[in-house]
Amino acid sequence: METASSIQQVAALTGLSIDTLRYYERIGLLEPISRAPSGHRQYRQKDIEWIGLLINLRETGMPLARMRHFAELRRQGDATAPERLLLLEQHQHALEQQIQKLEQHLVALQQKIAHKKAYLAQRNGVSSALEQSLDAPTEKESLHAEK
């Protein structure tokens, strides 16, 4: 017999709050969770695996509305598998575009940092050279020191 997990256990396992788990069930991201005779939710392993996918989709930026649509398609069964695949492929494409933009921004930022470091090194080098020349004895002071 499959063991059931309480909402507290699932919250600890997934990192989602109890309120979030209840919310996901209320808005249809989760199928209604089975209940113990006491009325407490009893999550099965397949519920926990589905929650893991929902977390992944959310962390990759999928909007809740699209996640709800995906969940609705899943409930409709195997006939919607091609549509679910298309939805995931579209999300993948959007992520790839976002990653490409982030890489471009990263390159620009790295160039700006390199430019600033070079500027500061040059400025510190000039400042250092100036300090050394100010600290060095003048020709007149050198002549007095030799006498």
**Domain range list for the chain:** 1-76, 88-147
pLDDT at 137 exceeding the cut of 70: no
How do residues 6-64 score in pLDDT, each as one tens digit? 999 999 999 999 999 999 999 999 999 999 999 999 999 999 999 999 999 999 999 99
Residue 143 has a pLDDT of 53
* DSSP per-residue codes, 46-101: HHHHHHHHHHHHHHTT--HHHHHHHHHHHHH-GGGHHHHHHHHHHHHHHHHHHHHH
Q: Which CATH class is domain 1-76?
A: mainly alpha
What rounded mean pLDDT belongs to the chain?
90
pLDDT at 131 exceeding the cut of 70: no
Residue 115 has a pLDDT of 95
Residue 136 has a pLDDT of 60
Q: For 102-115, what is the mean pLDDT?
A: 97
Coil, helix or strand for 43?
Answer: strand
Tell me how crowded residue 41 is: count the other CB atoms within 10 A of its CB: 21
Report which of residues 137 and 51 the model is more confident about. Answer: 51
pLDDT at 142 exceeding the cut of 60: no
Give the residue carrying structure tokens 């929902």.
54
Is residue 140 very low, low, confident or very high in pLDDT (cuts 50, 70, 90)? Answer: low
Judged by average pLDDT, the poorest of 12-26, 31-45, 86-100, 121-135 is 121-135
Predicted TM-score (pTM) above 0.85: no
